[in-house]
Amino acid sequence: MRRAYAHLARRFAKLAAIEDSLAVLGWDTAAMMPEGGAPARAHQVAVLKGIAHATLTARGTEALLDKAASEALGPWEKANLALMRRRWAHAAAVPARLVEAFSKACSESEIVWRRARAKDDFAMARPHLERVLDLTHRIADAKAKGLGLSPYEALMDSFEPGLTQATLDRLFGQLEPALKALLPRVLEAQGPEPLPLPGPFPIAGQAALGLRAMRLLGFDFEHGRLDVSAHPFCGGVPEDVRITTRYDEADFFRSLLSVLHETGHALYEQGLPKEWRDQPVGQALGMALHESQSLIVEMQAGRSPAFLAFLAPLVAEELGVSGPAFGGANLVRLATRVRRSLIRVDADEVTYPLHVILRYRLETALIAGALAVKDLPQAWNDGMRELVGVVPANDREGCLQDIHWYDGAFGYFPSYTLGAILAAQFFQAAVAAVPVIPTALGQGEFAPLLAWLRANVHRRGAQVSAEALVAQATGRALSPEPFLAHLERRYLGSATL
């Protein structure tokens, strides 16, 4: 008899339905909702998050978890029970009223941030960010006590289970000097500037090109769709994955690359184990792993010379263009151009981790109380000068550029660079196991790569830790070496690391 476990499984299935509803509301907020609907949406989200919190922390949950631990469970059920306990421990540490207050503050802050960013007005956003940060401090302190972690690790654990600051400091400590040494070498070795892409490119043609690329990748349109939003993202639920992009009639390439990126996220969601769909063990294993799947598609495969050579005729066909600017060689130059840029989302893969390291430094200082919100713009500019070698001319290009902190997502930024490290390590292992993958990409065939990812990553769900999954899939512990070797090979024509 497994009565306690069965009771918990039903409760977590209910919780999954609530969280699915929140996910679809989140997509609607970004893609469809008129601005005037924001106050009502903030209330709806806060109420649903309160219900989710109450469901997770209902009286008797801890006793059920203890009883279920003595029941006869299989490997997946044991893993699921451990994840249930972790989810409960996070929720039980924080009072419901604080959860609702935080949700409301984040929703209000996000709306103000959108206006402040457009106006380049940090003063407008500052009091809302201070409110969010104050509530974040209270949540971090409560979770730290309940989980036995530092406040920052307690926040980060929501995105990356088990990740420690010591591990991050070690990985980033290896990356930072290597990238700062690599960057000037890459800039010096680059060839001529890419040929400009003479537009305009009608949105209808760009949308058709994006949809065609999604089909090549293996996206299931019976269980997903492509829409438009101010910032590309992947949302919804595995049975109904919603990805978005944004279009610029003067530049089709940016939209296409964002479609590749978000489709990578979507393929991971669509490949998770369906039989465990409504349980924690059937969900994504942390945001770094999620990001790795998008970067395998966009960076490792999508920006490879072989795939871009295949893509060039499709671009010509869907957009009605011709000429050397749209040839494979020029697309490669466009896709791999390295610059000391100000904006994270537009950064190349050599400088992108330096953008993330800056945010990691700043948010750990904010959480530790070593940096005040009022001093954030100057600290940001100083960090950009040191790490990337450029200084923002205004706060819109500086500390207002990302939504994360204004929406309460402290501890999330490291996932981006961890994802890049994982992507390189997974791709290296995939090619070693299935040598036909590079040739297949040159023919527009993603099936061999997707099959390896399905077997070694997607269908594993959250049954094992990220550390164990990486070791099992690649044969080694997480290391920045494959990523640095990839950069050397792609940008300098060597792999000496």
Q: What is the CB-side half-sphere exposure of residue 100 using CA atoms within 13 A? A: 13
**CB neighbours of residue 226 within 10 Å:** 19
The tens digit of pLDDT for each residue in 84-137 reads 999 999 999 999 899 889 999 998 999 899 999 999 999 999 999 999 999 999
The residue assigned the tokens 């997770």 is 56
For residue 363, the surrounding DSSP H or E stretch is helix 352-368
Q: Which is nearest to 29 in space by CA: 15, 39, 17?
A: 39
Mean pLDDT confidence for 55-78: 96
Q: For residue 497, what pLDDT is reported?
A: 36
Please report how the helices 75-92 and 61-68 are oriented relative to each other, as an axis angle in degrees rounded to 10.
160
Of 424, 179, 156, 441, nearest in space to 292 by CA:
424
Query: What is the spatial distance between Cα 482 and Cα 179, in angstroms, rounded to a whole number?
Result: 13
Q: Where are the beta strands (DSSP E) in 264-324?
A: none
pLDDT band at 58 (very low <50, low <70, confident <90, very high): very high
Rounded distance, CA 407 to CA 128, Å? 10
Q: Which of 77, 153, 160, 262 is catalytic?
A: 262
State the average pLDDT over residues 479-496. Answer: 88
Look at residues 168, 171, 250 and name the one whose alpha carbon lies nearest to residue 203.
Answer: 250
Q: How far apart are CA 199 and CA 208, in angstroms?
A: 16
With CA atoms as reference, report the closest residue to 496 among 188, 181, 192: 181
Is residue 348 a contact partner of residue 360, using CB atoms and an 8 Å limit?
A: no
| Whether 153 is catalytic | no
Reference 402, options 413, 414, 415; nearest CA is 413
User: Could you give the CA distance from residue 248 to residue 202 in angstroms, rounded to a whole number?
Assistant: 9
Reduced to 3 states, what is the DSSP secondary structure of residue 224? strand
Average pLDDT over residues 247-274: 96
CA 132 from chain center: how many Å? 21
The pLDDT value recorded for residue 96 is 86
Q: For residues 94 and 144, is the Cβ–Cβ distance under 8 A?
A: no
Q: Are 347 and 334 in contact (CB under 8 A)?
A: no
Residue 190's pLDDT is what? 92
Q: Who has greater pLDDT, 42 or 442?
A: 442
**Mean model confidence pLDDT for the chain:** 95
> Is the bond into 200 cis (omega within 30 degrees of 0)?
yes
Q: Is the pLDDT of residue 154 over 80?
A: yes
Dist CA 105 CA 361 (whole Å): 24
Considering the chain, what percentage of its residues have pLDDT values greater than 70?
99
CB atoms within 10 A of CB 74: 9
Question: Looking at residue 191, what is its pLDDT?
Answer: 87
The pTM of the full predicted model, rounded to 2 decimals, is 0.94
pLDDT at 163 over 70: yes
The answer to whether the beta carbons of residues 228 and 31 sit under 8 Å apart is yes
Check residue 2 and give its pLDDT: 86
CA-to-CA separations, 70 to 64, 81, 271, 279, 298, in angstroms, rounded: 10, 11, 32, 19, 45
Per-residue pLDDT band at 414 (split at 50, 70, 90): very high
- Alpha-helical regions (H) of 148-285: 151-156, 165-189, 203-217, 252-271
Predicted pLDDT at 313: 97
Q: What does the pLDDT look like over 303-322, one tens digit per residue?
A: 999 999 999 999 999 999 99
Please report, to the nearest 10 degrees, the dihedral formed by the alpha carbons of residues 228, 229, 231, 235 taken in order: -80
What pLDDT sits at residue 494?
61
Instruction: Classify 228 as helix, strand or coil.
Output: strand
Looking at residue 496, what is its pLDDT? Answer: 40
Q: What is the mean pLDDT of residues 227-254?
A: 94
Percent of the chain with pLDDT over 90: 93
Q: Could you give the angle at the alpha carbon of 462 between the alpha carbons of 415 and 49, nearest 5°?
A: 70
DSSP letter assigned to residue 137: H
Q: Is the pLDDT of residue 495 over 60?
A: no
Q: How confident is the model at residue 35 (pLDDT cuts 50, 70, 90)?
A: confident
* pLDDT for residue 489 is more than 60: yes
Quote the CA–CA distance of 360 and 413 in Å, as a whole number.
7
Determine the average pLDDT of the residues in 260-281: 98
Give the pair of three-digit tokens for residue 369: 């109380």
Query: CA neighbours within 13 Å on the CB side: how many for 333?
Result: 15
What SS3 state is found at 106?
helix
Give the pLDDT confidence of 180-214 residue by residue, as tens digits.
Answer: 999 999 999 998 899 999 989 999 999 999 999 99
Q: Letter for the amino acid at 131?
A: R
d(Cα 41, Cα 108) in Å, to the nearest integer?
A: 10
